Amino acid sequence: MRNRLDELVGSNLDQRVDSLRRILGSDVCRRIGVYKLPANFVLSVIIPVYNEATTITDVISRVRDAELTCEIIVVDDGSSDGTKEVLLALADRDEKDLRVFFHDKNQGKGAALITGFQHATGDVVVVQDADMEYDPQDLRFLLQPIVEDYADVVYGSRFSGADCQVAPLWHLAANQIITKLFSFRHGRKFTDVETCYKVFRRELIQELAPSLRENRFGIELEMTARLLKNRETRFYERPISYVRRTYAEGKKIGWRDGIWALWCILRY
């Protein structure tokens, strides 16, 4: 079946895009995320890691399977479960698309992201969690508004008609309360301000990174609030798939982070 499909639409992405445009038309292709990336385009994928020895190799493989030209920047935030050894083994393979950085002690997701942002060299930067909740196959769809120049920042929304797992009501309610309060505070309507999948033009996030204060999950709100200060920054949201993991599986954000998120809404 795959060989037959390659015969019909081509074996590389540009051939597939050209074939689908002929079959479906340009307007339909634009609406479903079928488009060409610019020549020499590079996506910087920042992966903050803390005690993810069982998933980090699979996550890196899934990013590579998305068929995008990427530099993968992994920042280990003081892991103690063997994650560091896994990453060192991966780095020893001399894989050209992977760069690994280590924090001596655990500082939080925000601190790991700041390190990653400062080392990015791609055209566009995206955050990828080191668990299996987010699917890198969504990345091409999220990149489109930036590549076609009608957005500077794109958020992947878990709550806007996406194909996703049914979440516990308390989880959905907590996210929606934070998002609605943030939206009201800033006069912009978001559906998922705390999503992991945040995509930025590199120059925007690198200009911002040195001034970021939040070391933990509060960085999600701080980044958004600071970017909104420039009224010319164009934000966009697109739906993504999402499979929530449980605390038994290693989920780290907790109710204290929810309380801190409310403080961040007021602070920034």
71 and 44 in contact (C-beta within 8 Å)? yes
DSSP 145-162: HHHTTS-SEEEEETTSS-
pLDDT for residue 131: 86
Distance, in Å, from the CA atom of 266 to the CA atom of 178, rounded to the nearest integer, reads: 11
pLDDT for residue 1: 40
**pLDDT tens, position by position, 114-125:** 999 999 999 999
Q: Is the pLDDT of residue 248 over 80?
A: no
DSSP H stretches of helix in 109-199: 109-119, 139-147, 169-186
pLDDT for residue 61: 96
How much is the pTM?
0.85
Q: 211 or 260: whose pLDDT is higher? A: 211
Distance, in Å, from the CA atom of 125 to the CA atom of 200, rounded to the nearest integer, reads: 5
CATH class for domain 37-267? alpha beta
Distance, in Å, from the CA atom of 49 to the CA atom of 130, rounded to the nearest integer, reads: 6
pLDDT for residue 223: 93
Q: Is the pLDDT of residue 8 over 50?
A: no
Among the listed residues 39, 42, 36, the one whose alpha carbon sits nearest the alpha carbon of residue 15: 36
pLDDT for residue 10: 47
Neighbour-count burial of 170, counting CB atoms closer than 10 A to its CB (0-12 exposed, 13-18 middle, 19+ buried) = exposed
Backbone angles phi, psi at 70, to 5 degrees: -125, 150
The mean pLDDT of the chain is 86
Model confidence band, residue 2 (pLDDT cutoffs 50, 70, 90): very low
List C-alpha distances in Å: 154 to 62, 132, 195, 199, 254: 20, 20, 11, 5, 25
Q: List for the chain the helix, strand, coil content (%; round to 5).
A: 45, 15, 40
**pLDDT tens, position by position, 94-135:** 778 999 999 999 999 999 999 999 999 999 999 999 988 899
The arithmetic mean of pLDDT across residues 168-192, rounded, is 84
Kindly list the domain boundaries of the chain, sorted by start residue. 37-267
Q: Is the pLDDT of residue 232 over 60?
A: yes
Radius of gyration of the chain (CA): 19
Helix (H) or strand (E) run with residue 9 in it: helix 2-9
**pLDDT tens, position by position, 62-98:** 999 999 999 999 999 999 999 999 999 998 887 789 9
**pLDDT tens, position by position, 16-54:** 888 887 888 777 777 778 888 999 999 999 999 999 999
pLDDT for residue 209: 95
The arithmetic mean of pLDDT across residues 154-173, rounded, is 74
